[in-house]
Structure 1
Amino acid sequence: MGKKDKKENKKRRDESPAPEDGKKCRFCRFPLLVAVLQLLLGVSVTAVAFLMLAFSPSLLARETPHWAGIILCFISIVGFILYCITYLPDERTSMQFIGKLLYFILCTIGLVISVLVIAFAGHHYAQTSSFICEPEGGDCVCKLDDTDPIARTFTFGGVSDCKEFPDTLTLYYLIQIVLNLAQALVCAVGAFIMWKHRYQVFFAGLQIGSPSSQQWQKV
């Protein structure tokens, strides 16, 4: 009887979990919802960055973080691929393990990039809000202190309305801060859920129960 019970318990542990109920919200299943949010935010960040670049081609790459949005779109694609991979307990396929590991690393990288963009955008927002701009030879020349003759000047080309330029630019920076903050939170949630799913619940290796039935204790 003891050998038979051991075989039955081992068989139960090896069995895959029952298929999910078809009535449940498949859209809420991880990582589909996170990947969709990452894609929407990535497209939004990229679109705002290119609008800023069209507003003034003189803006630098750190001021128009389209690269951050493109990277997040790539991360969301990895999330969609991971969603399509058939789930097996204990990560019995190399594809599933590689997908989870890659998605966790990319979400962490996306979090770092988003924080970096927030830092750049916050600095430029504080700087641009103090600009005093005047048109000069078809360009827009801005200074932080109009009374200082040796103050640093910033020249922006292709600006149609120099007077409204500082307000419009600060609005763009504020939108980038909000979008990248949301982007950072989504990436943090994705990395946390992936880590929690992989490491928070584990078998302690303690076997308890009566001689007729045995089970593994979860910690």
Structure 2
Amino acid sequence: MGQGQKGFKDKKGSKRRDDSPPPEDGDKCRVCRFPLLVALLQLLLGVAVTAMAFLTLAISPSLLARETPHWAGIILCLVSILGFILYCINYQPDERSSLQFIVKLLYFILCTTGLVISVLVVAFAGHHHSQTSSLICEQEGGDCMCVLDQDDPIARTFIYEDVSDCESVTGTLPFYFLIQIMLNLAQALVCAVGTFIMWKHRYQVFFSGLQISSPSTQKWQKV
């Protein structure tokens, strides 16, 4: 009878222990917290945005920095490199490593910054695409003189230096701006995903493994 009761208690105890949530897989959590795919996408998009910006700059050296946003691509490349570093750092629970905490904080801040910068670039590129699509240009020597309205005597004149053919301003340049819009939209989306993953890991509710027993119910303490 004693052995039967003991066996019943063991079964009951093991059943109670089985109700607890299984421990998280360290490797799986590491991939979730430091997604390799996000860092790879950030690197590829950063290189693409930078390359497209220099192609745009090749049309005319007089283009402004907001028209050739190579700086946005370079920043995203730095973010991706930081993501690779974060992926390679040995994971320790509860952020007990100061290096791990600092890199995670920097990655979160830079992802947020990359998101804001990408949205700004989309706004600039959209404005310039609309503007260059409406330009009326004439070749004058080695420069291209453009206006929005030929009938307006006080209309603003846009001068594109070292342009051999105005077709590159009225045709190629708007196409490049359209590509910049698409690339930076994708870049903003990837940065938003990286920011969300870091925020969710830091503030999501999870089971701590501590159990509070009561006569009627059993509750899991959440932290």
Under TM normalisation by the shorter chain, which class is it?
A: 0.7 to 0.9
Alignment correspondent of 1:108? 112
Q: Distance in 1 between matches of 2:221 and 2:27?
A: 24
- Structure 2's unaligned 5+ residue stretches are 1-16, 18-22
Give how far 1:163 is off. Answer: 2.9
Task: Give the TM-score normalised by structure 2.
Answer: 0.81
Shift of 1:19: 4.7
In structure 1, C-alpha distance between the alignment counterparts of 2:31 and 2:171, rounded to whole Å: 40
Answer yes or no: is the 8 Å Cα contact 1:31–1:82 preserved in 2: no
- State the percentage of identical aligned residues: 76
**For 1:156 and 1:71, how far apart are their aligned partners in 2?**
27
Counterpart of 1:137? 141
CA drift at 1:215: 7.9
Equivalent residue pairs, number: 202
Residue aligning to 1:172: 176
Deviations 1:104-125 (A, max 9, x none): 0000000011011111111111
Partner of 2:61: 57
Matches of 1:196 and 1:155, distance apart in 2? 49
Q: Which amino acid aligns with 1:69?
A: G
Tell me whether 1:74 sits opposite 2:78 in the alignment. Answer: yes
Deviation at 1:217, TM superposition (A): 2.6
Q: Which residue of 1 aligns with 2:185?
A: 181
Q: Is the 8 A contact 1:27 1:33 kept in 2?
A: no
Do the aligned residues in 2 keep the contact of 1:117 with 1:180 (CA within 8 Å)? yes
SS at match of 1:124: helix
Structure of larger gyration radius:
2
2:35 aligned to which of 31, 37, 53: 31
CA deviation map 1:166-205 (0-9, x unaligned): 1111001000000000000000000001000110225699
Question: Which structure 1 segments of 5+ residues have no match?
Answer: 1-8, 10-15
Q: Distance in 2 between matches of 1:87 and 1:216?
A: 26
Q: Which residue is 2:95 aligned to? A: 91
Q: 1:91-147 CA distances to partner (integer Å, 9 max, x unpaired)?
A: 111111111111000000000110111111111111111000110121001100011
Q: Which amino acid in 2 is paired with 1:20?
A: D
Structure 1 position 20 matched with structure 2 position 27: yes
Does 2:142 align with 1:123? no
Query: d(CA) in 2 for partners of 1:215 and 1:142?
Result: 72
Partner of 1:199: 203
**TM, length-normalised to structure 1:** 0.83
Quickly say closer, same or farther: Cα 1:134–1:27, change in 2 above 3 A.
Answer: farther
Conserved? CA contact 1:134–1:163, under 8 Å: no
CA distance in 2, matches of 1:181, 1:17: 34
